[in-house]
Amino acid sequence: MPQTPPSPSQHTAGRQMRHERTEGDLQHCLLCDRNSGGLCNRIGRDGLEALASSSRRLVLPPGSTMVEEGQAAESFFNITRGTVKLFKSLPDGRRQITGFADPGQFLGLSRAGLYAFGAETVDTVHVCRFQRPQFEALLNDLPHLKRNLLTAITDRLAEAQEQMLLLGRKTAREKVASFLLGRTQTEQPPSDDTPPDPTPVASVPMTRVDIADYLGLTIETVSRTISALRREKLITSTENHCIRILSPDALRQIATGQTAG
């Protein structure tokens, strides 16, 4: 895996440049823009240029600390590749992962100028980083950006509520089934015309420890539960860090508690 930013040449092939650096970032933004649902949607070419010139792209290796709980919130990130884990901890080390942020998601909101959570890369992660004052300025200049951010946070809040239902009221089996189904959404191919894969694949780049800390379980219970689902032929492990869901309907039944087992 290359850990240096990819050369912009592959993106700008066949186009003329204006300013080297900015144009490279702009191309990157234009690519981003095609993936719907992100912060940069419907923001217009001028907006994208402003975003491109205010941000820097970074590539972070697995296990990098991006944000520490309680630190001054200096940066705002938009993830373009890879997976980031967000978490809160207790003094004795117990940890709760509050979410995994995949490409298209932002990261770095603050309460009273301080981050209220920690964030660490799960695998190799590409981000656009903004300095906070510049991002604030962009928010004021680009009403679409503000609106997109509002929509994005609203989605996050809804996800958080769903996760609270999981943590507070679901069994281990229901939790794991919900988790696996949730990990299929993110990796949808950009084309709309292909029919949905009847046996979707869950992207699981994180360790058992991370899954356990996300579901409020121990690693042993996670492992046992995944083994049980495999034994029942509802899922099957594929190559690198992926799990194929053989029976999405059955898994959905389990995830929503509509099953005896």
What is the binding site for DNA (CB under 7 A)?
Answer: 171-173, 207-209, 216-224, 226-227, 237, 240
Q: Which residues pair with 236 in a beta bridge?
A: 244
Residues 215-234: x where in contact with a second copy by CB under 8 A, - otherwise, as a string: xx------------------
CA–CA distance from 24 to each of 12, 27, 74, 127 (Å)? 7, 5, 24, 15
| CB closer to DNA, 12 vs 218 | 218
Residue 209 touching a second copy (CB under 8 A): no
173 touches which of DNA, a second copy, none (CB within 5 to 8 A by kind)?
Answer: DNA
- CA Rg value for the chain: 20
Instruction: Tell me which of DNA, a second copy, none is bound by residue 224, counting a contact when its beta carbon lies within the kind-specific cut-off of 5 to 8 angstroms.
Output: DNA
How many chain residues interact with a second copy (CB under 8 A)? Answer: 42
Q: Smallest gap, in angstroms, from Cβ of residue 233 to a second copy?
A: 25
- Please state the closest distance from residue 115 (CB atom) to a second copy, in A: 10
Structure-block tokens of residue 195: 């029919």
With CA atoms as reference, report the closest residue to 58 among 125, 133, 119, 134. Answer: 125
Give 70's DSSP letter: T
**Which residue's CB is nearer to a second copy, number 62 or number 216?**
216
261 interacts with a second copy by CB under 8 A: no
Q: What is the Cα–Cα distance from 179 to 181, expressed in whole angstroms?
A: 5
Contact set for a second copy, span 20-59 (CB under 8 A): none
The CB-of-156 to DNA minimum distance in angstroms stands at 25
List the 65-67 sheet strands across, edge first. 65-67, 118-121, 84-89, 95-101
Kindly state the tokens that stand for 57: 């792209």
The residue (of 98 and 121) whose beta carbon lies closer to a second copy is: 98
Among residues 170, 177, 210, 251, the one that binds a second copy under rule CB under 8 A = 170
Would you count residue 154 as binding a second copy (CB under 8 A)?
A: yes
Distance CA 119, CA 99 (A): 10
**Position 245: which residue type?**
I
State which H helix or E strand residue 99 sits in.
strand 95-101
SS3 per residue for 198-213: CCCEEECCCCHHHHHH
Report if residue 94 touches a second copy, rule: CB under 8 A. yes
Q: Looking at 76-84, 145-153, 195-203, 237-245, which segment touches a second copy (CB under 8 A)? A: 145-153
User: Which one-letter amino acid corresponds to residue 255?
Assistant: A
H helices of the chain, in order, are 9-12, 20-34, 44-54, 132-141, 143-169, 172-185, 208-215, 219-231, 248-255
Between 156 and 208, whose beta carbon lies closer to DNA? 208
Does 182 sit near a second copy (CB under 8 A)? Answer: no
CA 136 to chain centre: 22
160 near a second copy, rule: CB under 8 A: yes
Which residues bind to a second copy, rule: CB under 8 A? 86, 88-92, 94-96, 98, 109-111, 116-117, 140, 143, 146, 149-150, 153-158, 160-165, 167-170, 213, 215-216, 256-258
